[in-house]
Each structure stands twice: as structure tokens, then as C-alpha cells.
Amino acid sequence: MTVPTPGVPGPRAALVVVDVQRGFDDAAYWGRRDNPSCEANIAALLAHWQESGRPVVFVRHDSTTPTSPLHPDRPGNAFKDIVTGTPDLLVRKSVNSSFHGSPDLHAWLQAHDVPELVVCGITTNHCCETTARVGGNLGYRVHFALDATHTFDRTGPDGVTVPAADLSRVTAVNLHGEFATVVPRRSSPLRPADEGRTGRPGRRRLRRPSPQSGPGRGTRGPVRPAVAGAWSTGAMTDPPDPIAGAWPRFTDRCLLRPVRASDLEAMLAYRGDPHVTEHLGHAPLSREEVRDRIDARLAGRDPGSGWIVRGVAIVVDGLCVGDAMLRLQPAPGAGGWQLWIGYALRPEMWGRGLATEVVAELVGIAEDCGLPVRAETFAENRASQRVLEKAGLELVDEVVAEGRRCRVFAAGHPGPPAPAPPVLSR
């Protein structure tokens, strides 16, 4: 299990983007605002969450006041342009709390095993603060991204107008240590706008020939090269991160994106199926094991070896029907890096050529990174061998692992030399 770090959102934290709607640009209606960097910081958070594969929730306020810019019949009800992409959940509400809308946010978070939230949006002291308070009372670990919110001047019952910036400071005092951890941008681990990213990663489709259709059930876990121990990237020249490019990617029939914490139930359906796992080299996984596997993919490191490892969800018609793994490891005997690829699919997706499309796209990712490719499958798994061959890989070796014969496939040439890892003490 991943141990939470104080003040740092974990790999299953959901970003809740509250009421970032065009109607709030109506200064004549709302008055003077604070924090002109709010939208840029929201965009940065959203891009980071989408890139990392963690769950994203959009919340829209449907005002019941006919004259409000946020009324559903008015153009101001729409999201601002910075709110891009498809969320894991869209909540519509007409009150302050995001937990009192439809669909039920609390029920969705519980069903998807999401233990913590990062709250951003508009306005600081109304819907954002209320969402954080209710979330804290419900037992969630709440991070309040103060500099990714803004509010407006307000006049109190005594006729005194309180500046928006003062109201935001009061919200921070109200929440911090009681309902949430307030995280200002200047000390934030949330990767805000002034740390370099201000928008969503662009989309692109690789211009690769359409592969022929063919069956596929999965490739087994990697036979690790004969290297001693693990290393940290601080002691070596970092290789290219295979998932750092533009996402999502598309084949003719599916979308490929980084895995998300919300993929748990879909992945459990096949990762816990013995008909699937007999081809993967491990026993059927429990819910906890699938969750730990997702956590490792989101963290980007294999817990045992320290190698860079990334997970890719295979999505068809909005459903995660499989996943692939990209593991960056030393090429045996070549002194360079290689990208090991593997995949698993739901049984009903076997024999449709989908695996061939996916593997061909993963090979394209390796080509983009200038890396050779390695994949392995059990000798009796003829279907996956045909998938690898159609995707351009060649049979290069046969080994015995866990008492079973495995066939090793490869493509490309070794990349730049990889420094030898330190020998671990026994």
C-alpha cells in the first residue's frame, strides 16, 4: 500500500474542478475579483492530472435564479475554455456543495476507491470552501489549492465591503488543519502554472499503417535482464520517459491513455480472471493487488527494480477493456536502454485484431523515444506470438522462466548506453 505523505496528494487523489464557468467573467454582475492567476493555475493542475492519469471531476453550477449568468439557459453556464477534456465524472448542482449534486459525488468516489481530493475552482469562499468542508466531514483527505481559486468582493450586513483577497485569506484560515490542507502555489507539490505547464497536452495520431487483424490474449511479465539490483535516476543519465509524449493516442478502434485510479473495477474484471492470467505469468489478482499495481504505474517506478514503469489503459467506447505496460530497462548485453511492452485484454476482446493495433501503437511510442522494443510470451500462446509478429517484432530468443518456455521478441536497435546499476548488498 502507498503511505500518504503529509500535504502531498497520493496516486488516487481526484482533482475536483468546481464551477469554472464563463458566467463568472461578468464583472458587472459579480464585482471585483482577486487572484488573476487563478485560471492559469487551474489549467496547470488539470493538465497535470490528465497527464498523470488520476481521476478528474468537473462540477457545474446550474443556478435557479433566472437572472444569474450561471442559469442553464444562459451562455455563462458553459465551462471556460481552460476546462478541457472529458472528466471521469460530471456533477451538476444548484447549491454550494459539490456533494449535493447529481450524480452523487460521494457515492462515485466510494465506488472508485478514491480517498482524497484536490479542490480548485470558483468561488473560493462559497462553493470551493463548502465542497472542502463537506469532503473533510465525510472523511476524505482534502487538499485545497488556494491559488487555483478566486472570489469577489462582498458587502456584509453592516454595509462594509470586504475585499476578495481578504475573503480568500479567511477561507484559508477556516479550512487549514480543520477540514483540509491549504496548499498555496508557491509551496505546492501540485505543479502549478509557474512551474512550466499551462495547458492540456496536445493530441496526435501516429501515421502508422493499419495492422492486419489478429487474435491476442496477453503477453507475460518480463524476464529481467541479468543485472544486479536496482538504481535511482539520480545516479544515472535519465532515459526518455515513454509516457511523456502527447496523450491520449488513438488506433482505428481504441483510445490509449495513462491508467487512472478509477480504472480499478474494469481492470479487476480481467486481471482477476484465471483465463486471462494464465497467459500473463501471475495468479489472478485481488482487488488490493490491482490497486497496488495501479499505484505503481501512477508513481512511475517498479517497487522491486526501480525501473521506470508506466501503465496504459486500452479504452473502447468509453470502457477500459485492457491495459498495457511500458517498462524501461537495460537491454541485456547491449549496454543501452530498451522498452519492454506487455498487455492484457478482456476475453471478449480476443480475436478481433485489437491487440495488434495496440502493440503496433506501443512500438510507435518506442520509435518516438528512439528505443528498441522487447516483448515476451509463453511458447504455447500462439495468438500473442502472431500479434507481436504482425506489429513488426521478430522472434530472437527462447528462454525458460518459472518452468515454462517463453519466446522473446524484439524490434529496433539498442539505444544510448545505460550506466551499470550498483550491486546491492545481500
CATH number of 106's domain: 3.40.50.850
Residues 6+ apart with CB under 8 A from 121: 16, 17, 18, 19, 20, 42, 59, 127, 128, 148, 149
Task: Look at the alpha carbons of 371, 399, 377, 305 in this order and tell me if their dihedral is positive or negative.
Answer: negative
Would you say residue 114 lies in a domain? Answer: yes
Distance (Å, whole) CA 368 – CA 84: 26
All three cell numbers of 209: 499503417
Judge if pTM exceeds 0.75. Answer: no
Would you say residue 298 lies in a domain? Answer: yes
Q: Beta-carbon neighbour count of residue 307 at 10 Å? A: 21
One domain, residues 246 and 387: yes
Distance (Å, whole) CA 211 – CA 76: 45
CA angle 7, 177, 19 (to 5 degrees): 75
Would you say residue 371 lies in a domain? Answer: yes
All three cell numbers of 289: 493487488
pLDDT of residue 147: 93
Would you say residue 7 lies in a domain? Answer: no
Q: Report the CATH number at residue 296.
A: 3.40.630.30
One domain, residues 350 and 265: yes
Q: Which helix (H) or strand (E) holds 60?
A: strand 56-61
Cβ 325 vs Cβ 311: under 8 Å: yes
Residue pLDDT, tens place only, 340-396: 999 999 999 998 899 999 999 999 888 877 889 999 999 999 999 999 999 999 999
Q: How many domains does the chain have?
A: 2
Burial 68-90 (b: 16+ CB within 10 A, else e): bbbbeebebbeebebbeeebbbe
319 vs 248, which has greater pLDDT?
319
Would you say residue 122 lies in a domain? Answer: yes
CA angle 117, 122, 123 (to 5 degrees): 105
One domain, residues 277 and 386: yes
One domain, residues 166 and 279: no
Instruction: Read off the pLDDT band of 415 (50, 70, 90).
Output: very low
One domain, residues 254 and 403: yes
Cβ 226 vs Cβ 357: under 8 Å: no
CA angle 204, 16, 257 (to 5 degrees): 25
Distance (Å, whole) CA 55 – CA 110: 13
Region 145-173 average pLDDT: 95
CA angle 392, 395, 401 (to 5 degrees): 125
Distance (Å, whole) CA 306 – CA 283: 23
389 vs 240, which has greater pLDDT?
389
All three cell numbers of 345: 485484454
One domain, residues 175 and 27: yes
111 vs 416, which has greater pLDDT?
111
One domain, residues 265 and 406: yes
Q: Distance between the two ends of the chain, CA-based, in angstroms?
A: 25
Would you say residue 274 lies in a domain? Answer: yes
Indicate the SS3 state at residue 127: helix
Q: Which helix (H) or strand (E) holds 132?
A: helix 129-137
pLDDT of residue 164: 96
DSSP state letter for 298: H
Backbone angles phi, psi at 408, to 5 degrees: -105, 130
One domain, residues 160 and 256: no
Residue pLDDT, tens place only, 9-49: 887 899 999 999 999 999 999 999 999 999 999 999 999 88
Rank 129-138, 313-322, 323-332 by mean pLDDT and report only the highest: 129-138
Query: Does position 265 have pLDDT exceeding 50, yes or no?
Result: yes
One domain, residues 284 and 175: no
Which range of residues forms the domain containing residue 40? 14-195
pLDDT of residue 124: 98
Q: For residue 204, which of 237, 243, 248 has the smallest C-alpha distance?
A: 248
Largest CA distance in the chain: 82
